[in-house]
A and B are shown apart, each in its own frame.
Chain A
Amino acid sequence: MIDESLKGELQKQGIWVTSMQELYNWGRKNSIWPLQFGLACCAIEMIATAASRYDLARFGGEVFRPSPRQADLMIVAGTVTKKMAPQIVRLYNQMPDPKYVISMGACAISGGPFKQGYNVLKGIDRYIPVDVYIPGCPPRPEALLHAFMELQRKIDGQKLSGASQAEFLKENTPSEYPVPAFGAHDLEPPANLDVFHPPAIERA
């Protein structure tokens, strides 16, 4: 590893020194291709983010892919109904590693205003791992841009090797998660407990 001060000194002389990891992460974080799908009103905000006024292209994320095989990022934009949840999980499974998920809006986080409804999934993080949550109903495009920048920061910090190696590079980290099935009253299983870690409620 090169010393940071030496690196800065060289940079002043016009010599750019970098590491494989930095180059790799720089390339990845500036070319995040989202999967093109929207579920509800959050999708309108997502479209606005990609359009000219907010211009997601400034961050390298304008290439919305219609196929999960070419996508890096899944923006779960909207209410996930129980009917739709298996499809979302299957699409996530079909994305190649490394893959990231932004849970956009109150519905995707927890079910939002429909949380008490019989047909709405109470958060997509019950089945797939989520990297960035954006609160809001719906969140403004600026919030999605902020989430995008947070994701870029996360990608930038991922290590190629060593003890704190990025999860997706580890041999035994799963790339596919079990797809829930339609049960008699709910999805079976109601949550994937390997992924879903609800906060413990402390009662006084």
Chain B
Amino acid sequence: MTPSPYFFLVVFCGVAFFFPVMPLILAWLWRRFFQPPKPGPAKNATYECGVESLGEAQIQFQSQFYLYAIIFLIFDVESIFLIPFAVAFTGLPFGAFVAILIFLFLLLEGLVWAWGKGCLNWTK
């Protein structure tokens, strides 16, 4: 009698299951019969770098950081978009040129606004 061609797959799955699970079971049995459990506050702590954790993990960032977001857009993201614009400049249709001008205008408006607000002044 020849075994089904999928029989080896079943054997493979069985081995793949028992190979990692058996050591875990053996370790659990060993702990159960030989090793007294010794839990404690430091052992059960969430953080494991030696420093005590402070406060909650779910914190909120303040909305004042919007200034950084806007200035990041103006000086960083804009330059990334300007490079492909400059490369493809001669082959651009008129509609694309207007679209990029609108994009630049919106960011320029942000720059004027940030400048007027005094965000670009270096604090002494």
Provide the residues of chain B in CB contact with A96, threshold 8 Å.
43
A-B residue pair count with CB separations less than 8 angstroms: 43
Interface residue? B94 (CB, 8 A): no
Provide the residues of chain A in CB contact with B34, threshold 8 Å.
160, 169
Provide the residues of chain A in CB contact with B88, threshold 8 Å.
none
Is B43 touching A88 in the complex (CB atoms < 8 A)? no
Is B48 touching A69 in the complex (CB atoms < 8 A)? yes
Provide the residues of chain B in CB contact with A171, threshold 8 Å.
36
Query: How far is it, in angstroms, between the C-alpha of A69 and the C-alpha of B46 when the chains are bound?
Result: 11
Q: What does DSSP make chain B's interface, helix, strand, loop or mixed?
A: loop
Count chain B residues whose beta carbon lies closer than 8 angstroms to a beta carbon of A: 14
Count chain A residues whose beta carbon lies closer than 8 angstroms to a beta carbon of B: 20
Residue among B35, B36, B41 with most chain A CB within 10 A: B36
Interface residue? B45 (CB, 8 A): yes
Query: How far is it, in angstroms, between the C-alpha of A87 and the C-alpha of B49 when the chains are bound?
Result: 8
Is B43 touching A170 in the complex (CB atoms < 8 A)? no
Query: How far is it, in angstroms, between the C-alpha of A175 and the C-alpha of B34 when the chains are bound?
Result: 16
Residues 167 to 201 of chain A near chain B (Cβ within 8 Å): 169-171, 174-176, 179
With contact pairs A87-B50, A90-B52 given, residues A176 and B43 touching in the complex (Cβ less than 8 Å): yes
Query: How far is it, in angstroms, between the C-alpha of A174 and the C-alpha of B39 when the chains are bound?
Result: 10
Query: How far is it, in angstroms, between the C-alpha of A174 and the C-alpha of B36 when the chains are bound?
Result: 11
Query: How far is it, in angstroms, between the C-alpha of A91 and the C-alpha of B50 when the chains are bound?
Result: 5
Is A94 touching B36 in the complex (CB atoms < 8 A)? no
Provide the residues of chain B in CB contact with A86, threshold 8 Å.
50
Binding site for B on A (CB under 8 A): 67-69, 86-88, 90-91, 93-94, 96-97, 160, 169-171, 174-176, 179
Extra inter-chain contacts (8) besides given A90-B42, A90-B52, A91-B49, CB under 8 Å: A67-B48, A87-B49, A91-B48, A94-B45, A169-B34, A169-B36, A175-B38, A175-B40
